[in-house]
Amino acid sequence: MMIKSVRDMLEEANASIETISAEEALSLLGGDDTVFVDVRETGELERDGSIPGAIHCPRGVLEFEIDPNSPMHNAVFSSGKRVMFFCASGGR
């Protein structure tokens, strides 16, 4: 069994998502069909603030909140809205 490297996993993930510029993201802010999700830790939000209207879902629990079969499921992830994930540097 071959274990995937972090680089391989990132390449695979990046191939299945759309990355847009901050300017493009700003043009979507406030739209009814888009939700912004801040994946930073709570301390970062308390220190730096967040985008108005964004929901908070720390990276460590993201899979639990996305999975509709999870008791932690957040309905926004099954709402049909375009989901825009963001963090401080784009590394998460």
Please report which confidence band the pLDDT of residue 2 belongs to, taking 50, 70 and 90 as the band edges: confident
pLDDT tens for 17-69 read 888 998 999 999 988 999 999 999 999 999 999 999 999 999 999 999 999 99
Rounded average pLDDT over 3-15: 90
State the Cα–Cα distance between residues 65 and 47, nearest whole angstrom: 24
CA dist 31 and 76 (Å) reads 14
The closest alpha carbon to 32, from 4, 53, 60, belongs to: 53
- The whole-number pLDDT of residue 89 equals 74
Map out the domains of the chain with their CATH numbers: 23-86 (3.40.250.10)
Look at the chain and count its residues.
Answer: 92
